[in-house]
Amino acid sequence: MYDLHTHTVLSDGELLPTELVRRAAVLGYETLAVTDHADASNLRHLVEAAGECRESARCYGVNLLVGVELTHVPPALIPAFARDAKRFGADIVVVHGETVVEPVAPGTNRAGCTCEYVDVLAHPGLIAVEDARAAAEHGIALEITSRGGHNRTNGHVVRMAQEAGCRLVVDSDTHAPSDLMSKGARWAVALGAGLTEAESREVLSQDINRLLQK
């Protein structure tokens, strides 16, 4: 099991990174990404702070991916910020997509889907198929999310991803302990988004190391 989109007290989450890792370990997760909300004010700090927890995660048997979620960053600045995050040592860069429940700047999806340093476009809302095709070309996964509000467009995201041939991931966007999904909950989110059982199995059990290889 994996989750590539979680938050801690380093931004607006409720748990320290190590407690989040521990709770994920108990649920059976093998890979967990800490991707706190980032902009110009805290990008380097988030990568360095989460990186201090790698050894603790190893002790709990979890592969900790240190990352950020670029959040409400002006689209024109996303490529530079994503590049800087990787330069600072981030394993994964998530972009806060154009969810229908927040005033995300138009063009954010496009900027995220065309950036070589971005790995996941989170809750991309009513994403255009042209942007999904760009994501496929750049090896960027679109997110199916369990988070309330953001998950209203999961079905649309799946259709666009299937038409464009790009990869999907299922994430929680965890902020509180109860947000982490059980194995059964992950299946429900995947099936509820319109994936078949075979498609759900493939998305939920994919090789995350391969996903992150550019």
What confidence tens digit (pLDDT) does each residue in 128-175 have?
999 999 999 999 999 999 999 999 999 999 999 999 999 999 999 999
Tell me if the pTM is above 0.85: yes
Mean local confidence (pLDDT), 37-49 = 98
> DSSP class of residue 177?
G
pLDDT digits (tens, 9 = 90+) for 60-103: 999 999 999 999 999 999 999 999 999 999 999 999 999 999 99
Q: Tell me the three state secondary structure of residue 6.
A: strand
pLDDT score for 194: 98
Tokens 């759900």, located at residue? 200
Residue 119 sits at φ, ψ, to 5 deg, of -110, -35
Mean local confidence (pLDDT), 55-62 = 98
Structure tokens belonging to residue 2: 């994996």
In the chain, what are the domain boundaries?
Answer: 2-206
pLDDT score for 28: 98
pLDDT score for 72: 98
pLDDT digits (tens, 9 = 90+) for 187-214: 999 999 999 999 999 999 999 999 998 7
CATH number of 2-206: 3.20.20.140
Mean local confidence (pLDDT), 172-184 = 98
Of 158, 111, 117, whose CA–CA distance to 131 is shortest?
A: 111
